[in-house]
Amino acid sequence: MLKKQTSTLPRPRVRRHHFLAAWVRSPLKIGALLPSSRGLANAMAAEVDVKKPGVIIELGGGTGAVTHALLASGIPPERLVVIERDRKLHVILSSQFPGLNVLCADVIDLDKVLIGAGINRINAIVSSLPLLGMPKPVRLAVLHQMAAAVGHDTALIQFTYGPRSPVGRQHLRQYHLHGRRKKLVMGNLPPAHVWVYRKGQAVI
Ligand SMILES: C[S@@+](CC[C@H](N)C(=O)[O-])C[C@H]1O[C@@H](n2cnc3c(N)ncnc32)[C@H](O)[C@@H]1O
């Protein structure tokens, strides 16, 4: 059982330093210069309905801004799994959230990761992945994996800096997804939109 999760989060300046260092290592793979603001992280966490069953999967944990907000919103640590590909960020995340299931993996292998972790019921996928900055073949493979993991009761929560849905119409149709822009967080740098996608029905 995890205790006092929030107290392990380093100060914002330290987080920004780790984040910037990761961006310098591979800007396109990180996709942002700064970690998500508290406002954006909270807006994403607010879209998770913790009363519904299933595991919450966070994609692209980075330095833990969204992880922290998810835990602070009341999600029990044992129901949260975080996936981060960057090895250094994975080490930092794991040390910030001891006992939390933080996996060093690429979302391109999400199907195998979920099987390996014994996860079959997913409540929500909370993604900070830089979808629009990915090379097209990578973006398509990542989208395919995310869509395949979305069940009929799963919310796919994704933020984007652009004005449009980061999942285009063609892919919404292909994967039977409906998307809804839920919130614009002006206080984030840059301002970001939170989108929620669901399978088979319009999001109310
Ligand atoms: C824009 S940052 C967001 C970090 C953090 N969640 C936040 O909001 O501050 C995107 C994160 O996704 C990770 N990432 C990018 N592509 C990935 C992939 N294919 N699989 C796993 N993680 C990935 C990056 O390493 C980076 O930490």
Looking up residue 87, the CATH number of its domain turns out to be 3.40.50.150
30 lines ligand 1 (CB under 6 A): yes
- Residue 60 within any structural domain of the chain: yes
Confidence of residue 78 (pLDDT cuts 50, 70, 90): very high
- Residue 204 within any structural domain of the chain: no
- Residue 113 within any structural domain of the chain: yes
Q: What is the pTM of this model?
A: 0.91
Structurally, the chain folds into a number of domains equal to 1
**Mean pLDDT, rounded, of the chain:** 90
pLDDT above 60 for 2: no
47 lines ligand 1 (CB under 6 A): no
d(C-alpha 116, C-alpha 44), whole Å: 26
| 58 CA: nearest ligand 1 atom | 6
Range of the domain at 180: 5-199
179 lines ligand 1 (CB under 6 A): no
- Burial (Cβ within 10 Å: 0-12, 13-18, ≥19) of residue 202: exposed
pLDDT above 50 for 203: no
Confidence of residue 8 (pLDDT cuts 50, 70, 90): low
Confidence of residue 3 (pLDDT cuts 50, 70, 90): very low
- Residue 81 within any structural domain of the chain: yes
pLDDT above 50 for 5: no
